[in-house]
Amino acid sequence: MTGSTRVVLASASAGRRKVLRGAGIDPVVLVSGVDEDALVAALPEGVGPAEVTTALATAKAEAVAGTLDAGLAADCVVIGCDSMLYRDGRLWGKPATEAAAVEGWQAMAGRSGELFTGHCVLRLRDGRITETAAAHAVTTVRFGHPSASDLEAYARSGEPTAVAGGFTLDGLGGWFVDGVDGDPSAVIGLGLPLTRSLLERVGVSLPDLWLANPVAG
């Protein structure tokens, strides 16, 4: 039936939910509980940032798909995402401590880094996955020069330890980002252009999703 496909977001990220709601879709939010460190450790040696983030996004989507009740699993799409900052030849996830967040910002101030966001879309019909599409987006982020006092206050806010790379574009960290080259929504955590293409690949139309997942108000 047209307009009956629910959208499930396999993420606790308020930023990703905000991106979807701003684009006309109010998703069902379910958190995967995937052990990201264990999954990354199990990947073949030498895999690049695109493969790492896409594998994590896929694992999150698959984990959530396996927990859906029969009503949702009858007709839905599950969207999984994972973001990491690539700089100095390595991937950076969430800083473990405020001190690590400050150290990271001191290292990247006035420089650029690449934000990799893995995306996975699963199409479920009648309780089973019928289609899978996954890809990644890369956006260059140009970082500013926060003062020492600004940086210390930012670290104390708790925001940088909760997000990949220790910064946000749509929160307090946005004050210290000079610009982005690429898709801003991917930096927030869910790239709309790439997600649209993945939805098309699994045979789902945006107008149908808008009808089935309206944003109240």
* β-bridge mates for residue 90, sequence order: 87
CA 169 from chain centre, in angstroms, equals 13
Among 7, 49, 26, 77, residue whose Cα is nearest residue 165: 49
Residue with tokens 């973001």: 83
pLDDT tens string 161-186: 999 899 999 999 999 999 999 999 99
Domain range annotation of the chain: 6-212
The answer to whether residue 150 is catalytic is: no
31-81, pLDDT tens digit by residue?
A: 988 888 898 889 898 899 999 999 999 999 999 999 999 999 999 999 999
Q: What is the pLDDT of residue 45?
A: 86
Per-residue tokens: 192: 């709309």
What CATH class does 6-212 carry?
A: alpha beta
Which whole-number Å values give the CA distances from 146 to 97, 156, 167, in the listed order?
18, 14, 12
Q: Is the confidence at residue 217, as pLDDT, over 90?
A: no
Q: Using 50, 70 and 90 to split pLDDT, how confident is the model at 1?
A: very low
Question: Can you tell me the distance from the alpha carbon of 122 to that of 6, in angstroms, rounded to the nearest whole number?
Answer: 12
Q: Above pLDDT 70, what percent of the chain?
A: 99
The residue with greater pLDDT, 11 or 3, is 11
Give the C-alpha separation, 139 to 184, whole Å.
8
| Per-residue model confidence (pLDDT) at position 3 | 64
Q: What is the pTM of this model?
A: 0.93
Q: What is the mean pLDDT of residues 82-99?
A: 91
Tell me: pLDDT of 150 over 90: yes
Q: Which of 35, 82, 88, 150 is catalytic?
A: 82
- Quick check: 108 pLDDT over 50? yes
Please tell me the distance from the alpha carbon of residue 39 to that of residue 58, in angstroms, as a whole number.
11
